[in-house]
Structure 1
């Protein structure tokens, strides 16, 4: 019998995906859980498995096309020709909402288990419908100014670079963030000398024992976690009529490849030691290099961290990710003269830069948070344990 494959929901906040590449063609036989296509969503590639055993009948979506969660992407012909389709079931809340607004539930894509329509799906459908109606152009009786022809470019001196789906998504997300979130910015300077000496002491033995390098980033993440525990409002998000403070601390860590920027999420960072953070960062690094992410690897972040200092940067103004309120950068650690107790000393110094959502956070709370973060980083020394 003919079965439908739809765009899966690859994360809590994901509403659409771009189909980059089909891994099958019409007529191919596929097994259940076998990958049939590659989807890009929220800056990540993920393979979508077949939900049935059968034969590919028709590919509905073209490569490079963006479709909403729940929309049809292909048809499969299964071997279970006598199986009857299951009758759709709806919760009382869904039925009541549909009746109140005169909705046809067949028109609403479901994001629940097995494609079931939830109350949230109905409310999202209503909101999208209302927004489309508000955005319909109104008739205008004003005279239309003549359109001036744009100057022609001499393309002999220019080079056009095709924009791939990942760059399209990055452009859409960053534009949305800058448009919707009122950004403010602040920074502090940190003496990293104690941490620098600690890492120098540990790094050779650590690499020999664990098989991967010990960087500054896990120490930085540990300090961020301890500072969020002191000022939990940093770990929050604006939701229109309320501010939601997240219980868990899930850190989105920006990782760049030659082709693109990825932001995998280090889950439950508040439950991990410095070594635990280092180990998890190495796992995410390997996934980024080989582009082998699981759907959950890119979703659920509550705060974003950028190690821009690894590229030599000393000052950054990062863009805040959607559904978060803060983006933090650790800049390059630089040796320079510093005045300490009226004496000049050579210290390892670095800047910490913070972009904040001014709807949620003010200068005072962010200043206190950065001071605590600065103090925590400066308290690392050669006696600090990482396990």
Structure 2
């Protein structure tokens, strides 16, 4: 009997992955730990390794299809397995056909005759939870969809093609069969589809017919952009966001950094930016106010022991949030090296699963593109996020006199289920004090 290969767990809080590219074909022989496919999630790109040695007999999930963690994606007949001689000779043919590119959009929706025959056959198609959820959100009758997957299985890409084409047209002669959810994958429906205890699930937005004028550019939503969108909606729906801000006089920090950056670059081979100073102040304040370093867990609040700082790194088409592990144990130099390394590997597409997991608090450097004020969305399941805005010179009253100072806004969004304004205000004042006290005695190492 063939071994089932499932979509693996691809990181903390990751609920689904997209097969971006198959690295094997039906009939290929693979060894244990050989890479089978490239997978994209909202957190990282990764490869799925083979769990056994043998021959690929069927590819279940097609390129571009997004499925839940634990979903069957591939069959491998193990080397020397007794079931190899009994394998159906037709199976490789069906699977091989399924690896071809999907048919054009107009072939995705069945004609009334085809739909009627599907109903008359008396057989119920099985659908993955991801397909069922997407079809229900957009009013797609799965009984009228011609699948391009293995054995005619309806894939997420098939449903998305119908949505992109403007949805299904009413067909009076076709009956709407209720979909049968694949029970093996049912337990892995993404958490984004489930309502939070005590709160209603967000109502999916109805498809909007937006007129397209000559010269308009239509950009298809990529799997990673769609996943980011879903996670942002989930965070805003589940966590009651509150927002607060303090302004900080960082004149002394600017002067100190300007004096130290030349020697630092010569000794360490990297630029000394402002971000490590802000992260250092944050982690020291998190040790004073550990409740900020917490997460909501339904019937309890978990205060995390480790202080792992997530940082936002943007690429041309996505936003990644790699993690500086044990940031409270690092010097400013150590934090600077971690930031530089994670940013470089993010843009090179070389992040690992470990790089993306375990974050307990996020520091977002929105000031790098000139922002002076923002309301960041919490990086769920964390309880708070801090945005460091742009440092600007402006007149400030000091001892009843006007002086030109370098000022920065620190903007904090918090999960009001976990945190209240009092503790967050104290936390921000602690960060502010540490930043304003930076001077010639500040240790970089």
Same fold by TM-score, threshold 0.5 exceeded? yes
Moved more, 185-194 or 62-71: 62-71
TM-score, with structure 1 as normaliser? 0.81
Is 1:192 matched with 2:243? no
State the 1:4 CA deviation: 1.9
Alignment correspondent of 1:98: none
Partner Cα separation in structure 1 for residue 350 and residue 271 of structure 2: 21
> Which residue of the partner structure matches residue 12 of structure 2?
12
Once the two structures are TM-superposed, the CA of residue 152 in structure 1 deviates from its matched residue by: 7.1
Given the superposition, is the C-alpha separation of residues 150 and 310 from structure 1 closer, same or farther in structure 2, using an over 3 Å criterion? closer
Shift of 1:34: 2.6
Q: Kindly tell me: are residues 350 and 156 of structure 1, through their superposed partners in 2, closer, same or farther at Cα, counting changes over 3 Å?
A: same
Tell me if the contact between 1:44 and 1:166 (Cα under 8 Å) persists in the aligned partners: no
Q: Is residue 296 from structure 1 mapped to residue 354 from structure 2 by the alignment?
A: yes
Checking the alignment, whether the CA contact within 8 Å between 2:52 and 2:78 is kept in structure 1 is yes
Within the candidate set 244, 262, 266, 2:324 is matched to 266
- Report the Cα offset of residue 31 of structure 1: 3.0
1:23 is displaced (CA, Å) by 2.1
Q: 2:362–2:379: 8 Å Cα contact kept in structure 1?
A: yes
The CA distance in 2 between the partners of 1:176 and 1:69, in whole Å, is 18
How far, CA to CA, are the matches of 1:73 and 1:37 in structure 2?
10
- 1:210 maps to what in 2? 268
Q: Distance in 2 between matches of 1:277 and 1:178?
A: 30
Per the TM alignment, residue 14 of structure 1 is displaced from its structure 2 partner at its CA by: 2.2
Q: How does 1:316-327 map to 2 (within 5 A)?
A: 316-327=374-385
Name the residue aligned to 1:278: 336
Q: CA deviation at 1:282?
A: 1.5
Which stretch shifts more, 28-37 or 323-332?
A: 28-37
Could you tell me how far 1:311 is from its partner in structure 2?
Answer: 0.1
Higher relative contact order (CA 8 A, sep 6+): 1
Indicate the RMSD between aligned Cα atoms, in angstroms.
Answer: 2.8
Q: Distance in 2 between matches of 1:312 and 1:163?
A: 27
1:159-198 map, 5 Å: 159-198=217-256
> What SS class does the counterpart of residue 214 from structure 2 fall into?
helix
- Structure 1 runs not aligned, ≥5 long: 85-105, 111-120, 136-148
Q: How does 1:1-387 map to 2 (within 5 A)?
A: 2-81=2-81, 107=183, 153-387=211-445
Query: Once the 2 structures are TM-superposed, how far is the Cα of residue 262 of structure 1 from its aligned partner?
Result: 0.5
Structure 2: 5+ residue stretches without partners: 85-181, 202-206
Instruction: Tell me how far apart the structure 2 counterparts of residues 290 and 217 of structure 1 sit (CA, whole Å).
Output: 21
- Measured at CA, do residues 40 and 150 of structure 1 come closer, stay the same or move farther in structure 2, by a change above 3 Å? closer
Shift of 1:343: 2.1
* Partner Cα separation in structure 2 for residue 152 and residue 76 of structure 1: 45
C-alpha distance in 2 between matches for 1:18 and 1:204: 45
8 Å CA contact 2:276, 2:336 repeated in 1: yes
Correspondence for 2:172:
none
Kindly indicate whether the alpha-carbon contact (under 8 Å) linking 1:10 and 1:296 is maintained by their aligned counterparts in 2.
Answer: no
The total of aligned residue pairs comes to: 338
Hey, what's the Cα distance between the residues in 1 that align with 2:430 and 2:245? Answer: 13
Aligned counterpart, 1:99 = none
For the Cα contact (< 8 Å) 1:27–1:55, is it kept in 2?
A: yes
Q: Give TM-score scaled by structure 2 length.
A: 0.71
Task: Please say if residues 7 and 69 of structure 1, whose CA atoms lie closer than 8 Å, have aligned partners that are also in contact.
Answer: yes
